[in-house]
Chains A and B, each alone.
Chain A
């Protein structure tokens, strides 16, 4: 008894760990791929891993098991659902290669489970398939089971049991059947065609029983979704519905408004986690407008977007520019920009908008072009490679949107956080490969002097809002805009510029690292977050007077903060990496040893490997060449941030401007003429 009790307790405590509970991605857009090939290549697996939800044919578990496992390795948070037809099976299934699961399913079918018409013929609704009778009118087999018992058992015993799937996608979760076979359906096997109402009722009851049994056998964490016209009677069992060929003719009047009403109603009905999908078919992969229309409509709710060739060939890995945008978490419900304030609009045609942390999604569901001026806002278009007219990367304050079109827009930050920047400089934004990530901007905070080295904390540190400013030989520590401490690292006589670094840890700066500017010696001082001097050392020959630039981060992945230093003008461009106490750990040349114009440094995780990399730029002379190194001095990237003929020196900073989880390289220019 004692042992049983212990086991029960352990089970209760560790149940969350033992089960694979699905956690939905917080950031939008959420993407689904309805990919029904029976076999997946390695290349396709790599591509498919980019989606958030995959609906894969159940045969994949036999034909491409390794690829399925690989996809999950590449994207541990991915949700993979097994596609299975709920009410039909291919004829002569044993003649198909690679149809192992279907053949297994077929082997268990009882002859009394086929859906027949009044004449006793099998009913078919799709070429080369025969329908199965999900109603309780189907004859029981020797065990007394019907198809609506057999199918859930098959799903649980043959699919879920593999551990490869997070759930099942029941194709054709219809609530009515009377439209099939010209209303000639004998669901109860009495040799008579049922009336439409009876056929629909019997079908819906049987279907619901099948879904309920699936839920009962598979548990609440097993995701069950379907498609077809939304039938409310199933929705409390289902986790969601795929609204196929949006806005589909069969859904709620066949209009955008009708489909949207259904789409937005589903979360009030479905079980958790809720996975509803808007799916659009278009044979033209370059019909970007239609894709935008579907995607931006999807973003008005919390569902997932799927885009396919057509119903006969859902097996594409088409990736659109918009898919790479991280809008972040929602900040509002959808609202109609054309409606009077406070008027919801009941999903009538309009210019619908939803706000996210990093941007907005806007849909023009009207029949005419809409021009809308953002009174107090500015956005930035995506810089895409597909529809370059729409996604041209421009900053905008008004929008001109064609009918049945949509758009995703960035809310761009014009403030560099968690990295030192020069107050008032113009900064361009680059990724590791030297590709511009949106428009440049003047990074300026009016509270601090022009050209001061400033660090703005991205965390409010329990609403303390800590900032640093270094200028004229003094470092100011600010809290909520008020200076709480002044550091004078090099004495009162030193009035020149300063270089700052302060890596954030748990919303606080454990260390404030200061380097003297041009005119000072190459002395590095390390202070505690509250301004007590911990260490001080010379990074280069103490007789040099070019100063020293500093950056800080965990460069080697040892969990400790290191300091990267770069000399000011007057000596070779040698980057050094020190421990906080000043122990030299590594050094390398950032540029040719003959270059003596001085080097700026910044630290950021530019490649997303969890370690900080070092970005460098010339302080003066030299072209505007930025280089990125790892802690061993290996060059990870190199590019010219401005016109190569410019030799006025540039400044580097590092901050995740586009919220993609990686730091961008910000390259500042004092004089952009």
Chain B
């Protein structure tokens, strides 16, 4: 072993060191570095500091299950109309021993079916401000609580969806720490759109004669018109009831075109009722047409005659169970919706 080491150094001596002293210098330098590094490693390995004497300022531990700032969100109505604002109440309380500051609450839509189109503060104090769609609460002292009320508007990006899934993403500073939390907000249901039409024609919009008799109406001669009721909805509705009353002197004729539902007339009450058990959303098949007739009397000369009064409708939103209703304008011989004969409603004598 010694002989082998000796041979190795001897060959090295003869091969390098004798030929150039720079080899000697290089080898010595490397050897010194190795020894130095080895000494450092051994030194660190053997180092035993006195930890108890070191002072570090850690923040107080926070129980994330019970964060210091308690936030509660509530809405006034879980069924909303897109045309109206939702009132979102935010109740806050600082349960911590330190003040909470720089509270930022951001309301976001979870999916892309609806977007928050507008947010307003319904009550305003200097401590609460809105920056864009972000609510900022400045400083909340330990133990302090309060309520902020926001008015939120939504806009549909997908008209077929009716559930609004949204959340509040908040962050605040507490005792030198920045805490973030996300709260799922109450799911909102958008009311379905139900529109109804109540129109009258002597001549159809495409120019076809539907009614019969003189326009303007003439004393003693019958004139008939066609009334159309139509209902359209953005989602499913049930139990549509469309009704109106025929004024005295207006008679129901036999002409009909019923695409859906049942149509009945009570001659005793003069009530017209159209019932459709189910309206499928986005369907355009819910239309009724019927023919009515007048025979003006001499006393009605110069008058515009009422042809249909108290038109109204109601139906129940299948998803929400909410009843929607509406009233429509009565119809007269002035034929407001008939672009060919509108305004020719005053009875004339022969």
Give A contacts to B, CB under 8 Å.
Answer: 371, 373, 378, 394-398, 424-426, 428, 439-440, 442, 444, 446, 450-451, 642-643, 646, 669-673
Contact = CB atoms under 8 A, between A and B. Distances in A.
Contact of B287 (A394, A397, A446, A671): A671
Interface residues of B, number: 24
A164 B133 CA distance: 100
B257 A439 contact: no
A426 B285 CA distance: 14
A397 B257 contact: no
B212 A446 contact: no
B214 A398 contact: yes
B224 A397 contact: yes
A446 B287 CA distance: 14
Interface of B: 204-206, 208-209, 212-214, 220-222, 224, 255-261, 284-285, 287, 289, 350
A-B complex: 4 closest residue pairs judged by Cβ atoms: A442-B257, A450-B259, A424-B257, A397-B212
Nearest to A641: B206
Contacts of A426: 204, 208, 257
A424 B208 CA distance: 16
A398 B222 CA distance: 8
Nearest to B207: A643
A439 B285 CA distance: 24
B95 to A, nearest CB: 59
A450 B260 contact: yes
B208 A428 contact: yes
B285 A451 contact: yes
Contacts of A397: 212-213, 221-222, 224
A360 B208 CA distance: 23
Contacts of B258: 424, 444, 446, 450
Given A394-B209, A424-B259, A450-B258, A442 B214 contact: no
Q: Decide if the interface of chain A is mainly helix, strand, loop or mixed.
A: loop
A414 to B, nearest CB: 8
A394 B212 CA distance: 8
A671 B221 contact: no
A451 B205 CA distance: 21
Given A442-B257, A450-B259, A670-B284, 11 more contacts: A371-B221, A371-B350, A395-B209, A398-B213, A398-B222, A424-B258, A424-B287, A424-B289, A444-B257, A444-B258, A669-B206
Nearest to B221: A398
Q: Which of B222, B259, B284 has the most CB of A within 10 A?
A: B259
Nearest to B204: A672
25 contacts: A371-B221, A371-B350, A373-B221, A378-B212, A394-B209, A395-B209, A395-B212, A397-B212, A397-B213, A397-B222, A398-B214, A424-B257, A424-B259, A425-B257, A444-B258, A450-B257, A450-B259, A450-B260, A451-B259, A642-B206, A670-B259, A670-B284, A671-B287, A672-B204, A672-B206
A224 to B, nearest CB: 48
Contacts of A669: 206
A442 B256 contact: yes
Contacts of B213: 396-398
Contacts of B256: 442, 444, 446
B212 A396 contact: yes
B70 to A, nearest CB: 54
Which of B205, B206, B224 has its CB near the most chain A CB atoms (within 10 A)? B206
B204 to A, nearest CB: 5
B61 to A, nearest CB: 63
A520 B257 CA distance: 27
A395 B212 CA distance: 6
A141 B224 CA distance: 76
A448 to B, nearest CB: 10
Given A395-B212, A673-B205, A442 B221 contact: no
